[in-house]
């Protein structure tokens, strides 16, 4: 099958480093868009002809967005975090494997559930002009953990006011809207 050991090309120019940062910004924007339920931002991380194979959904990026936004309404809270970002930059294309951990707190039958899951985003990104976006995404799920104790614990165990909100009411939007 001719599989090779994947080792990314090392950045050799300042532009390579800028491109790597642009790719990371796109990946981080995806997480923010999902966690804040920000449809406009989510649309900006994919090229119009992009595809997304997201384990239980496979289709165009537009179809994925139309599918996932109502799904997120059933989830009280999500938090996506990226870890290792392994990327191979080849001109205006990049092959990227990004490890993620995601916390999901869906409400099922009026009762909160709590899951932590981990996997990898396997992406092909493309740069057009100065902008990097996802052209093709496949999600590989590596593990899933149900957290019944966390689901039963309630929202305010420590007496802390939780500030998780969706677009546009999340307080983070106030910071970015400042002049």
pLDDT in tens, 26-56: 999 999 999 999 999 999 999 999 999 999 9
- Does residue 168 have a cis peptide bond before it, meaning omega lies within 30 degrees of 0? yes
Q: Residue 116 is part of which domain span? A: 14-177
For the CA atoms of 78, 83, 84, 85, what is the dihedral angle to 10 degrees?
Answer: 50
Q: Is the pTM of this model over 0.85?
A: yes
- Is residue 5 in a domain? no
Each residue of 100-129: pLDDT tens digit?
999 998 888 878 888 999 999 999 999 999
- Is residue 104 in a domain? yes
- Is residue 87 in a domain? yes
CA 87, 52, 57 angle in degrees (round to 5)?
Answer: 135
């Amino acid at each position: 099958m001719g599989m090779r050991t994947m080792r990314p090309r090392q950045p050799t120019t300042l532009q390579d480093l800028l491109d790597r940062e642009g790719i990371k910004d796109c990946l981080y924007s995806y997480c923010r868009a999902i966690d804040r339920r920000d449809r406009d931002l989510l649309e900006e991380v994919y090229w119009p002809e992009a595809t997304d194979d997201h384990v239980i959904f496979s289709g165009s990026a537009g179809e994925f967005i139309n599918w996932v936004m109502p799904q997120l309404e059933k989830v009280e809270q999500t938090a996506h975090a990226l870890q290792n970002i392994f990327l191979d930059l080849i001109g205006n294309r990049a092959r990227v494997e990004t490890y993620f951990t995601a916390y999901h707190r869906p409400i099922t039958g009026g009762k909160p559930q709590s899951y932590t899951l981990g996997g990898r985003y396997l992406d092909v990104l493309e740069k057009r002009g100065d902008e990097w976006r996802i052209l093709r995404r496949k999600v590989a799920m590596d593990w899933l953990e149900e957290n019944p104790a966390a689901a039963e614990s309630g929202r305010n165990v420590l007496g802390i006011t939780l500030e998780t909100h969706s677009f546009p009411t999340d307080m983070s939007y106030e910071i970015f809207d400042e002049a």
